[in-house]
Structure 1
Amino acid sequence: MIQVVTYDGKDTRYDGDKIDQYSLHDIRSLDEYEIDVIDLSSPHIWYSDGGTVNSINVSKDLKSVISMINNSRNAYVVIILPQNEVLYYDKYDKEYLYSTELKDILYSLQNDILSRLFDPFTGISLTYENTRSNVGNMEYEAAFYFEGNAFWEIGFVISSIKSKKPTVMRKNRTYMTTLKIVDTDGLMNFFDGIGILEKEEAAPEWISEIKMFDDIEQETKISEWQNEVEKIENDIECSQNKLADNMRLKSILYTSGDRLVEVVFEILEELMGCDLSGFVDNKKEDFLFEIDDNVFIGEIKGVRHNVKNENISQLDVHFQGYLDEHEEKDPNSVKALLIMNHQNNKAPEEREPVKDTQINLAKRNGSLIIETAVLLKLLEECRSGKKTREMIINMIANSKGLLKLE
């Protein structure tokens, strides 16, 4: 694992599965990780409330960091120096009065800030010069390069293209660089380029053919488990499809118009064994079908209000119109049904009950109001075997007013 230490621990450049990021204040023990990165490139680091350029606000945190570097025994440490950032200083009334580029205060940067924070930096000179360096298969920019220190290996690791200016130095397991690293890919490539990223050697194809220890037993188990997983995945898919179908049926509790009619047709066909595929909507009744000697004619409504007299009266108009066109029919064999999804903007338990006025009007007309919630309950009882199709047909054919489940 890799620890990247940034100003606030929230630098989006370093998002990655193998990276833990912490702020300078909350840095964890370096030896808990294989590689630790101390990134000083954030512009937020380069602020000083004091009146000179000889210190920065995070000095105390950085002193703690150098102590950890000195005490580290196992980890690789990479210190990323800033580019030519702007140092803001002399704070007064929440504002900084002055600013300067780092290239213009190199002496103070080296001798007053970096050397005090990092003992090994003593004697190193930074020179301002914009260069490019190749590391692995990537190119990096840098605003500074290093000059002379006997305790560091200068130029041994990475130097700039053509000009050969050192941009990476090493001392034992600690590396310091002036390169600009812009994202996680650049960081990982940098590790690879300086040789601290451990890579697992790829296994040859033939190695899998050599069976030893309990290889065959484990492969058999994996195969069996994969079969079980496949079966479970199929079962999950079936259940998900069933839940989706249930949700579509339950949609008659909140829909209106054609979508409501389509699902109600499907439920009526399953409950009563009728076939509504050939029904033609002539802008009269919403459905019409025959079962034995009985004719069922009806309206399907989805509304936000409760059942009104006009809904029942409209159904009666269709009922009387049918009798006028079929004088041979016994009126007692024709059943008018009003399937209502009323108050469909409310949950069923929050809906007001159908009022007695409308129930009595339906009784007087010989018609039947069926709420969509009751229709769903009928379907549930039919599928569970609690009610047979014959029982449901008889219940609907012989009820008036408001259908209630027994």
Structure 2
Amino acid sequence: MVQKIQLIKYPPINRDNFPDIKINQITHFEAFDTFDYNLISLNEPSIFKYANNMFARANDFSSISKRLKKPYSSEVIILLPQNKYIDKIGIKDKINMVYKFLNLYFNSPPFELIFEKNKTKIGNVELTADFYLDINIDSCEIITKNTNDNATTIKHENIIYTTLNLENNNNIIHFIKEIEPKEIIDIPDWFDEIEMFDDEEKKLFIEQRKQEIQLLEEKITTAENKLEENNYYKSILYKQGKPLVKIVFKMLEEMLNYNLSEFKDVYKEDFLIEFNDITFIGEIKGVNSNVKKGHLAQLDDHVTDREDYLDENNKEEIIKPLLIINTFIKKNPYEREEVDETTIKKAEEKYETLIITSVAFLKLYEKFKNNEITTEEIKNRFKDEIGLFKYET
């Protein structure tokens, strides 16, 4: 029997991806009892925007909520959100808003959404999810579990809740077949041993394709991990304060082959890197302006404090101040103003300081990771250059 399915969601709606399913916008859903299954997708992060004591999509879901309070004979399935981002914040970090929303419009049971990418095997298909369900009440029926034996689909009263990412026609069809009442038939143990028709050929084909898929998935995972690492370093283009300092420290440690883990800012400088022939003293800043003379003066105060320390302890060393600064953090790097020539001249003539913008610092790190420049070459550039550090394109 072919089941009639309605998927209720917000745009974008690509009906070509759902040939066996009726898709309706949440503002124009059809009568529930026209279908065997009604799926309501919450996989749109703007649903959970909350301001002025109400959700942004309150009117739409009030209509859904009112319908659910009336009798219906079909199954209702709530597709819980994946960890999409809204205003640079993942759903996992707005989870209390999700609970508030579910309780308000669906009177959901008191489950927890635990963030952890996981897979649930349904037949021969693996469905992914960004969350699983942690429940502690007996009134919920567990329908599907992931490979770690955690609940991914439950039924409470007359509503089914699932964390599975049902993003296309086939996934939904497989899922519906899984949750349908099943006729229990005992298949004999010997049945799998019977090979006829082209069973052997198809089994071999399936096994080979599975191996290819596994290899591709491993390559995709490797690429995703590398992109995540790249984004971590690129984030110095918009960060400031301690998050910026933390990443810059890691990059400096790699490029200069120096351990900053035990550094303590005794004189309020952001870093102190001591070599036999040079000591780099530095300030790391993230600002929504250009480089200012005050930034140079603050760094010069650190230099003076260091010189006083050396005099008091009868020590000598060559000090080189470095200002690593992320300017105009709210602007696209390609639209940021250049450092003012007057400021550069002040850095050269008065402070003998090297200014390194976050863009230049990131380009330098890229060249280092690509083995286009060595630690010694970076050290010498920091040591010998003053004014504005320029990377070679």
Q: TM-score, normalised by structure 1?
A: 0.51
1:360 aligns with 2:380: no
User: 1:80-229 maps to which residues of 2 (within 5 A)?
Assistant: 204-229=188-213
Q: Percent identity?
A: 38
Separation in structure 2 between the aligned mates of residue 4 and residue 295 of structure 1, nearest angstrom: 70
The amino acid of 1:229's aligned partner reads: I
**Alignment-mate amino acid for residue 386 of structure 1:** E
Cα separation, 2, equivalents of 1:366 and 1:402? 11
Deviation string, structure 1 residues 36-66 (Cα, Å, up to 9, x no partner): xxxxxxxxxxxxxxxxxxxxxxxxxxxxxxx
Q: Distance in 2 between matches of 1:18 and 1:370?
A: 57
Deviation at 1:248, TM superposition (A): 1.0
Q: Say which SS state the counterpart of residue 356 (structure 2) adopts.
A: strand
| SS of match in other structure, 1:249 | helix
1:10 aligned residue: 30
Deviations along 1:63-92, whole A, 9 cap, x unmatched?
A: xxxxxxxxxxxxxxxxx9xxxxxxxxxxxx
Large movers: runs of 4+ above 6 Å: 197-202
Alpha-carbon deviation of 1:15?
4.8
- Aligned match of 1:400: 386
CA shift digits 1:140-161 (9 cap, x unpaired): xxxxxxxxxxxxxxxxxxxxxx
Between the aligned partners of 1:247 and 1:13, the Cα distance in structure 2 is 48
Q: 1:379 corresponds to which residue? A: 365
Cα distance, 1:251 vs structure 2: 1.0
**Alignment map for 1:64-75 (pairs within 5 Å):** none
Partners of 1:4 and 1:239 in 2: CA distance: 36
> Does the Cα contact within 8 Å between 2:5 and 2:36 map onto a contact in 1?
no
Q: Conserved in 1, the CA contact under 8 Å of 2:279 and 2:320?
A: yes
Tell me which residue corresponds to 2:49.
none
CA distance in 2: counterparts of 1:346 and 1:18, whole angstroms? 44
Q: Structure 1 residue aligned with 2:280, among 296, 299, 303?
A: 296
CA distance in 2, matches of 1:318, 1:236: 47
Q: 2: distance between equivalents of 1:401 and 1:285? A: 19
Change (3 A) 1:355 1:9: closer
2:79 maps to what in 1? none
Aligned to 2:269: 285
Q: CA separation in 1, counterparts of 2:237 and 2:249?
A: 14
Counterpart check, 1:351 vs 2:336: yes
Counterpart secondary structure, 2:285: strand
1:274, 1:291 within 8 Å by CA — same for their partners in 2?
A: no
Letter in 1 for 2:346: L
Structure-2 separation of matches of 1:405 and 1:183: 59
Secondary structure of 2:328 counterpart: coil
Code of the aligned partner of 1:405: Y
> Cα gap change, 1:325/1:15 in structure 2, threshold over 3 Å: closer, same or farther?
farther
Q: Are residues 1:234 and 2:218 paired? A: yes
CA distance in 2 between counterparts of 1:308 and 1:235 reads 46
State the Cα RMSD in Å: 3.1
Structure 1 337/14 Cα, relative in aligned 2: closer, same or farther at 3 Å? farther
Are residue 388 (structure 1) and residue 385 (structure 2) matched? no
Give the deviation of 1:231 after TM superposition. 2.0
Distance 2:370 2:231 in 1: 18
Shift, 1:312, TM fit: 0.4
Gaps of 5+ in 1: 20-79, 81-181, 185-196
Residue 13 of structure 1 and its aligned partner are, at CA, apart by 3.8
- For 1:2 and 1:264, the matched residues in 2 are separated by 57
2 CA distance for matches of 1:297 and 1:304? 23
* Secondary structure, counterpart of 1:326 in structure 2: helix
Structure 1: which amino acid aligns with 2:241? G
Alpha carbons 1:306, 1:354 under 8 Å: kept: yes
Shift of 1:183: 10
1:240-295 Cα shifts (integer Å, max 9, x gaps): 11111111111111011110000000000111111101101336100001233111
**Structure 1 residues 337 and 329, CA gap change in structure 2 (3 angstroms):** farther
Corresponding residue for residue 323 of structure 2: 338
Aligned partners of 2:300 and 2:38: how far apart in 1?
Answer: 73
Q: CA deviation at 1:227?
A: 2.0
Following TM superposition, by how much is the alpha carbon of 1:4 offset from its aligned partner in structure 2, in angstroms? 9.3
Question: What SS class does the counterpart of residue 405 from structure 1 fall into?
Answer: coil
Rounded to whole Å, the distance in 1 between the matches of 2:310 and 2:271 is 16
Q: Which amino acid aligns with 2:212?
A: E
Q: Is the 8 A contact 1:14 1:183 kept in 2?
A: no
The alpha carbon displacement at 1:203 in A equals 5.0
Give the counterpart letter for 1:345 in structure 2: K
Q: Does residue 320 in structure 1 map to residue 320 in structure 2?
A: no
Q: Is it true that 1:305 corresponds to 2:289 in the alignment?
A: yes
